[in-house]
């Protein structure tokens, strides 16, 4: 018996594209990628704020099947990455599988597959893949008085290209990777820029504006060199895993880069104001070549305060002082643990994703959830943000899912559901590994779920490879065909 699964992939970012290519490589062509935005790219489509570039070198931040020799910069800009994602979709024949501008609202398991409700109606699939991203839902703080504010307010993840910035009194709220990039980019054009830096973050200096050396571009045009370079890039991200997961001298050496970078700030008052009270690398590390230069310019004020309220003219900081602003930029991050929600997911026996995740999101090896047969997540809970390559993790997960589908195609089962016991065992391994990571050294970050768990991958790449190379039927309940 051979049959071809009908598959719906939700999301056309890194995870959705990697999954589409994995299915195609496995010989499955009956799939649709449904994306609510009008273009592909995920975070690189939604985030368009001034100064956005990737703080991971482009030669690592790419798919293994689509290495690009000629990245213009060492750290590519948002339009360059967005353009790359479009090219990958076109070059890999995914365009015909795409449905853009359509939101998946709900999905219900019907005994053998999923009934998926979108803006456009309802359709059925055998497998549902949630590639819905992590940093997707903007965290918009509920600050009182916002309706009375006479200026403009924008969240960085929903940047309006019409937003006027030149000659304005700009407030940037938040100083994570985003706040640092947008403040650095807007300082030269702003009349006055105020950075509300409630909790300072460690910054590591890097040549984030550097162009990619021509000799490297030339060398990477050879496929053999490109393959070696890609593998070397992955291996270098393995060094980062070691640094963040083990408390060794190597971690201390990298942490000292952040301390030294802060030490080079000339203004001693500013230096102390920006000194975090936790270990470098505990939060997602901020990397910037221009931030310290920008914040020492005369039109910049850095506050170590949060916001108390809006007034018609501006913001009142938590020290009670009011400052006038024309534009308030909320660089306040994301609700990182929403995953596929607010999609209404109803699995076996009517169990909802809210029921299953009442103690916070969790999954078996990032990808399978008890109670939700024939559903997989790509870059789901415990994904390796801040250590391994996300592209690589997404490709590996896509291939793992395709391996299950191959078994389905030959009639080995109709439904596959991970057991609660296997999921608990995986999560217990995660909990045991977490205390030695730098993320658990006592800072508040978006890595933490509401219940205080670190929602990251605490293992190395080899472990991920081993866990996702071959499906382990002992960890799953298989049913059918009748
Ligand atoms: P973030 O790291 O979560 O930072 C949010 C900032 O907003 C923090 O400084 C936070 O302060 C502040 N904040 C939140 N609510 C506030 C309030 N009510 N009043 C005052 N301040 C408030 O968010 P992000 O900077 O958007 O970065 C999120 C992640 O996106 C990064 O960690 C990274 O993974 C990714 N990213 C990557 C790149 C890249 O180049 N690859 C660029 C940008 C972002 P507290 O810390 O005090 O809460």
Per-residue pLDDT of the chain (482 residues; tens, 9 = 90+): 699 999 999 999 999 999 999 999 999 999 999 999 999 999 999 999 999 999 999 999 999 999 999 999 999 999 999 999 999 999 999 999 999 999 999 999 999 999 999 999 999 999 999 999 999 999 999 999 999 999 999 999 999 999 999 999 999 999 999 999 999 999 999 999 999 999 999 999 999 999 999 999 999 999 999 999 999 988 888 889 999 999 999 999 999 999 999 999 999 999 999 999 999 999 999 999 999 999 999 999 999 999 999 999 999 999 999 999 999 999 999 999 999 999 999 999 999 999 999 999 999 999 999 999 999 999 999 999 888 999 999 999 999 999 999 999 999 999 999 999 999 999 999 999 999 999 999 999 999 998 899 999 999 999 999 999 999 999 999 998 86
Atom of ligand 1 nearest to the CA of 143: 18
Q: What is the pLDDT of residues 194-239, one digit of tens each?
A: 999 999 999 999 999 999 999 999 999 999 999 999 999 888 888 8
Cβ < 6 Å from ligand 1: which residues? 54-56, 135, 141, 173-179, 181, 196, 198-199, 284, 306-307, 331-334, 385, 446
Query: How far is it, in rounded angstroms, from Cα 110 to Cα 114?
Result: 6
According to the model, what pLDDT value does residue 386 have? 80
Using alpha carbons, select from 152, 155, 151 the residue that is nearest to residue 140.
Answer: 155
Atom of ligand 1 nearest to the CA of 330: 7
According to the model, what pLDDT value does residue 297 have? 97
**Ligand 1 centre and the CA of 331: distance in Å?**
6
Output the residue whose Cα is nearest ligand 1's atom 28: 333
Ligand 1 pocket: which of 54, 77, 82, 178 to mutate (most atoms <8 Å of CB)? 178
Using alpha carbons, list the distances in angstroms from residue 266 to 256, 260, 261, 271. Answer: 18, 12, 11, 7
Atom of ligand 1 nearest to the CA of 444: 46
**Ligand 1 centre and the CA of 196: distance in Å?**
12
For the chain, list the domains and their CATH numbers: 7-137+335-479 (3.50.50.60), 146-201+283-330 (3.50.50.60)
Output the residue whose Cα is nearest ligand 1's atom 31: 177
Using alpha carbons, select from 52, 80, 51 the residue that is nearest to residue 68.
Answer: 80
Please classify residue 27 by burial: count the beta carbons closer than 10 Å to its beta carbon, then call 0-12 exposed, 13-18 middle and 19+ buried.
exposed
Using alpha carbons, list the distances in angstroms from residue 467 to 119, 271, 283, 396, 402. Answer: 36, 44, 26, 10, 15
Output the residue whose Cα is nearest ligand 1's atom 4: 176
**Ligand 1 centre and the CA of 120: distance in Å?**
34
**Ligand 1 centre and the CA of 446: distance in Å?**
8
According to the model, what pLDDT value does residue 435 have? 96
In DSSP terms, which residues pair with 169 in a beta bridge? 192
Output the residue whose Cα is nearest ligand 1's atom 18: 141
According to the model, what pLDDT value does residue 482 have? 65
According to the model, what pLDDT value does residue 481 have? 81
β-bridge pairing 104-109 and 344-346: parallel
The model carries a pTM of: 0.96
**Ligand 1 centre and the CA of 54: distance in Å?**
15
According to the model, what pLDDT value does residue 251 have? 96
What is the 8-class DSSP label of residue 307? E
In DSSP terms, which residues pair with 106 in a beta bridge? 117, 344
């Amino acid at each position: 018996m051979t049959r071809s699964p009908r598959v719906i992939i939700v999301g056309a970012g890194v995870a959705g594209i990697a999954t589409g290519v994995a299915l195609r490589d496995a010989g499955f062509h009956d799939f649709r990628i449904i994306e609510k935005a009008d273009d592909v790219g995920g975070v690189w489509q939604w985030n368009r704020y001034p100064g956005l570039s990737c703080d991971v070198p482009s030669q690592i931040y790419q798919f293994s099947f689509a290495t690009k020799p000629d990245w213009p910069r060492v750290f590519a800009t948002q339009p360059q990455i967005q353009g790359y994602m479009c090219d990958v979709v076109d070059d890999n024949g995914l365009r015909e599988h795409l449905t853009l501008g359509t939101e998946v609202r709900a999905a219900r398991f019907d005994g053998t597959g999923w009934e998926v409700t979108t803006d456009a109606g309802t359709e059925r699939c055998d497998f549902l893949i949630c590639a819905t991203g992590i940093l997707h839902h903007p965290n918009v703080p509920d600050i009182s008085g916002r309706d009375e504010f006479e200026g403009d307010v924008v969240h960085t993840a929903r940047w309006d290209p019409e937003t006027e910035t030149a000659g304005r009194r700009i407030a940037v709220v938040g100083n994570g990777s985003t706040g640092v990039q947008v403040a650095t980019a807007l300082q030269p054009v702003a009349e006055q820029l105020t950075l509300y830096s409630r909790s300072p973050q460690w910054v590591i200096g890097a040549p984030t504006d550097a162009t990619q050396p021509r000799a490297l571009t030339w060398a990477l045009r050879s496929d053999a060199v490109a393959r070696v370079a890609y593998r070397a890039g992955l291996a270098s991200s393995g060094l980062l895993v070691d640094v963040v997961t083990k408390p060794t001298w190597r971690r201390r050496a990298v942490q000292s880069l952040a301390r030294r970078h802060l030490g080079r700030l000339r203004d001693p008052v500013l230096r102390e104001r920006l000194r975090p009270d936790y270990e470098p690398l505990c939060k997602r590390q901020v990397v910037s070549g221009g931030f310290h230069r920008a914040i020492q310019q005369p039109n910049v004020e850095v506050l170590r305060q949060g916001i108390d309220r809006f007034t018609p003219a501006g913001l009142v900081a938590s020290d009670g002082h009011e400052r006038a602003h024309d534009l308030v930029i909320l660089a306040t991050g994301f609700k990182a643990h929403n995953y596929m929600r607010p999609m209404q997911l109803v699995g076996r026996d009517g169990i909802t994703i809210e029921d299953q995740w009442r103690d916070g999101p969790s999954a078996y090896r990032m990808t399978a959830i008890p109670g939700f047969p024939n559903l997989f997540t790509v870059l789901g809970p415990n994904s390796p943000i801040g250590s391994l390559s996300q592209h690589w993790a997404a490709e590996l997960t896509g291939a793992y899912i395709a391996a299950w589908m191959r078994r389905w195609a030959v009639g080995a089962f109709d439904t596959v559901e991970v057991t609660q016991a296997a999921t608990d065992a995986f999560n217990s391994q995660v909990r045991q590994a977490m205390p030695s990571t730098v993320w658990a050294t006592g800072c508040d970050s978006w890595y933490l779920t509401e219940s205080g768990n670190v929602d990251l991958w605490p293992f190395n790449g080899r472990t991920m490879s081993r866990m996702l190379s071959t499906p382990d039927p002992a960890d799953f309940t298989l049913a059918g065909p009748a």
